[in-house]
Amino acid sequence: MGKRQHLKSAPCWLWLPRWAQGLRLVLCAAVLASPLARAAACGDQVRLTEPVPVSAEELAEFRAMAPLRVLSADAPPMARQDKATGGYSGIGVDVLCFIANRIGLRYEMLDGRGQSVTEKIQQVQDGDADAFMPLTDHSERVLRGVFTLPFYESHYAVIARKGWRPQAPIRGLADLAPYRVGVIKGVAFEPVLKRLVPAAQLTVYDDTSGERIFQALRNDRIDVAVYSKNVFSEKRYQHEYFDLEAIHTLDEAPRAYRFYFNASLNNQRVAAMFDRYLAVMDVSGAVAEHEDGERQFIERYAAERNRHLFVQAGGVAALLLALVLLVSLYRYRRLALLLAASNQHILQQQQALQAANHELEMLSQTDGLTGLANRRQFDHALQREHARRQRTGAPLSLLMVDLDHFKYVNDHYGHAIGDDYLRAVARVLKSSVTRATDLAARYGGEEFVCLLPETAPADAQMLAERIRQGVSAMALPNELASPQHLTLSIGVASLLSGQASAAQLLAQADEQLYAAKHAGRDRVHAVVLRE
């Protein structure tokens, strides 16, 4: 299966003597607090917009297969190879890992360092590897392999040196003919350029990383390079190609990047299963995670700057130490002890402040009695999910839950028992509303709400009925009511289409709750908003 990669940082104070303990707290904090590593669990940034049904027979078939041998280009953000370990990360790796984990498919990422894209594609076509990513389709490749649906889209761009000015504005591919043009061997765009650019002016680079083509640009051996815009953006920060820039995006030639499989029967079945997942896959989280060239550059710059500051501060501290030793060893020891104690006190105060801030944040979002979200957090979530629903058109459902005859509980058993009943109902809500995108909250008094993004009306009503039955099954006594146990009334409102506001959705759920109360309580009433 895919390997997780972790960055480790050794303590930066190991070589310092005791007198520098205070100084290391100041200097190391900037280094250790920066986000050096954001290694997320394999596939965590990928999600499905709807479930993908896979039969037990299909799962058994994929689990019995030999490990899938996968080759990859070094093309961030889709796939980035670590030069030290040879391991890969990126959007494509997240997608591969996510699907493989779901269907029990074993795979291994082949190293492939030193091989060109053309050589890797040839290995897949010859059966020496099972799959390659990322790759755009064209007719020759389709004849010798199987493409999946795309998992990432980009455009090619014309890359040039900063300050370089063409003889005439470049508005499309045809305008490249007068210039010396570079392109990577084996990419889908190579045949197009060979038709448009004279052979004497076109240089094809058999390059695995893109470094040769960018160095040719910097050394004025070519005028422009045609290269994937997003990959160049990542490599520009990764290798600090700040003297290069994209001067034109070739919008007429969008590129859809896919997995490319060997055409064996087993691999065709794997590719078909990948298509089923890719058809309902949302990779926006992986895109946000891996389109991070600028962030990595800033972190490298900050680390280098901190290193210089550390060295400078160390030199100054050493000089101060020498002066202090000349004046008085006793005074030095006393000051060093005081400084260490002072910094320890400051550190303890910072830790206490962080803990207090965290607790305050939780208190501001959580109902103290039930542990559910409070009304403030619910109101914020409702506005957020309603705005998202307006963008995506996905259904949005809302449950308004109220305890029947709860006043009788407080009057007959006391408020302490009433609080116990509220906590018991909260436990039922927590066990029923389990999706990460859903939210159960205490709305006020004995009222609760459940926010259910991307939930169809029928599913919302089923969930409401399950909650009602769950509370009824607890048989919490309520002798003054009929029946003589605690029950719920639930109003359900589902926004399926139309332009109803968040406030209108909430009002409709409240009206359905009132209707359930008026109809005799201990029941669910629902409405679907379509206008």
**Three-class DSSP category at 151:** coil
C-alpha 387/C-alpha 290 separation (Å) is: 26
Residue 287 structure tokens: 């895109």
Res 292: pLDDT: 60
Q: Which residue has the tokens 């689990």?
A: 63
For residue 81, the cross-strand partners are 88
Q: CA quadruple 473, 474, 476, 477: dihedral positive or negative?
A: positive
C-alpha 77/C-alpha 90 separation (Å) is: 5
> Taking the CB of residue 38, how many other CB atoms lie within 10 A of it?
12
SS3 per residue for 516-528: HHHCCCCCEEEEE
Res 167: pLDDT: 86
Res 37: pLDDT: 35
Res 140: pLDDT: 82
Chain centroid to CA 526: how far? 35
Angle at 17 between CA 16 and CA 20, to 5 degrees: 75
**Cβ(247)–Cβ(159) under 8 Å?**
yes
C-alpha 496/C-alpha 454 separation (Å) is: 10
Res 41: pLDDT: 59
Count how many Cα atoms sit within 13 Å of the Cα of residue 211 in the half-sphere of its side chain. 8
Q: Which residue has the tokens 């500051």?
A: 309
For residue 181, the cross-strand partners are 202, 224
Residue 275 structure tokens: 């298509």
**Cβ(373)–Cβ(450) under 8 Å?**
no
Res 303: pLDDT: 63
CA nearest 385: which of 377, 375, 396?
A: 396
What own/partner pairs with CB < 8 Å and gap ≥ 24 does 430-433 have?
Answer: 430/371, 430/372, 431/470, 432/463, 432/466, 432/467, 432/470, 433/463
> Taking the CB of residue 472, how many other CB atoms lie within 10 A of it?
16
What are the tens digits of pLDDT across the range 466-500? Answer: 999 999 999 999 999 999 999 999 999 999 998 89
List the chain pLDDT tens, one digit each, 531 residues: 433 333 333 444 444 455 455 544 444 444 333 333 333 457 788 999 999 999 999 999 999 999 999 999 888 888 888 878 888 889 999 999 999 999 999 999 998 888 888 899 999 999 999 999 999 887 788 899 999 999 998 888 899 999 898 888 888 888 898 999 999 887 777 888 888 899 999 999 987 677 889 999 999 999 999 988 888 888 888 788 889 998 888 887 788 899 999 999 999 999 999 999 999 999 988 888 887 655 555 655 566 667 767 777 778 878 888 888 888 788 878 888 888 888 888 888 788 777 666 656 656 789 999 999 999 999 999 999 999 999 999 999 999 999 999 999 999 999 999 999 999 999 999 999 999 999 999 999 999 999 999 999 999 999 999 999 999 999 999 999 999 999 999 999 999 998 899 999 999 999 999 999 999 999 999 999 987
C-alpha 497/C-alpha 530 separation (Å) is: 5
CA nearest 223: which of 175, 270, 263, 271?
A: 175
Strands 488-495 and 524-529 turn out to be parallel
Residues 6+ apart with CB under 8 A from 480: 405, 408, 411, 412
Burial 352-389 (b: 16+ CB within 10 A, else e): eeeeeeeeeeeeeebbeebebbbeebbbebbeebbeeb
Residues 6+ apart with CB under 8 A from 230: 77, 154, 291
Please report the domains of the chain, with CATH numbers, ordered by start residue.
18-33+304-363 (no CATH), 47-152+257-293 (3.40.190.10), 153-255 (3.40.190.10), 375-529 (3.30.70.270)
C-alpha 155/C-alpha 215 separation (Å) is: 22
Count how many Cα atoms sit within 13 Å of the Cα of residue 110 in the half-sphere of its side chain. 20
Res 349: pLDDT: 78
